[in-house]
Structure 1
Amino acid sequence: MNLKFSNNDVPEQWKSLVYEATQYKARDRPEMNEILWKIRIINRSINTTVLNVSESDSDLPMLSFEEAVELTNLKSGSKDSKERAWKTIAKYSEMHNDFTAKYWKGYYLFHKLINFPYSDDERMQLAADAFKEAADGANILDAQSMYASCIYKKDPYTAIKYFEKAAEQNYTVAMHNLGLLYYNGKYIDADKNKGEYWLRRAVDGNLEASINFCIKNGITL
């Protein structure tokens, strides 16, 4: 579709969003919640520019924690918006000692959602530290499983304890990973009975039927 705008002053962000939202095939159009989020981001961007062209990112109103998480989960979020969300999450994790924010801090570091001034080893250690704080401080299942994922090669038996904490609360990803560790015995002594037990539990929880029961029992880590 070749859309034309009667006003030459329409911002490029609006043109881009309208183009995305009016694709002929439904699968090519963004979800409504993503459209609404982008509208909010564009409005803020436009209003900020009108008020003060030289205003820096640090002068913008801080996002709410919920907005920062929502923006993090947007696949099509821009680099600048991700960095702004990161600043909010980092502030919440440090100033408010918020364990959920600590989990999301670890998430940013682990997945390298923005450019960090750390080596990969330093970044992964910081991610592990953040996940551990969240895991120990608030019993966050995602954090328990992610902390275990960060350390299982270096400290597999501690990793197993954290996978087990989450797995015993029916967290499917942890059950799946715990089953793989036990079944394969790559970093620990193998225990195929325990491995199969946890993998079958994971199948019941699904995770795409525990990755199609480890691709029809070829299993692998």
Structure 2
Amino acid sequence: MLEVRDLCAGYDTVDVLHNVNITAEAGRLTLVLGANGSGKSTLFRTISGLVRGRSGSITFEDKSISKLSSNRIVRAGIAHAPEGRHLFPQLSVEKNLTLGNYARRSSKSELKELLTRVFDLFPILQEKRSQAAGSLSGGQQQMVAIGRALMSDPKLLILDEPSMGLAPMVTEQVLQAVAEVNSEGTGVLLAEQNAQAALGFAHYGYVLAEGRVVLSGAASDLQNDPEVQKAYLGV
């Protein structure tokens, strides 16, 4: 589904990504591991059109998206829930969710179906649909951020550290929801600090270090790799 080839990207004169190559297959969950500053967020921002790559290529469903605007990338079928949530705190939960459909501009009936899907995934959001998003707990706000991305009905959902700062019980709820979305057929590209949990339901993974892919393989193989165990699993 997604092919990133020899991607170099960065900010101003600083290169962050150096000849990165990754593939995310349709309907699969692809995990990206790496320490803070390894380039995960820059990779995701470049794929979603928020950062322009300096060289290399990004193709989605065999079409180049390297030079498309972020809105056109959403319409192509990629949604990105960035680290930090970036909600509109004064707006209601429902309004935040429907803004996720802005680029797709679905019909009213389609919009209702998408909202129902999000509320089925996160029932607490239906209860709080009229509340200001800023009044929710951190975990509930993360659910809104994921739900907003799902409102564009993506083929590939990019999630950047969805469990960051959440309590263990809430982390489990959020990651279970991510696994459920993937099991229903939506491809997921995930960066997640809870490597142990994420490797448990991912299909394939990459390890980034200093902007380069240093290791890749089936999630089960990464779980058993001594370097991954030492760096990310506390083994």
Q: TM-score scaled by structure 2?
A: 0.29
Q: Which has the higher contact order (CA 8 A, sep 6+)?
A: 2
**More helix, by proportion:** 1
**More strand, by proportion:** 2
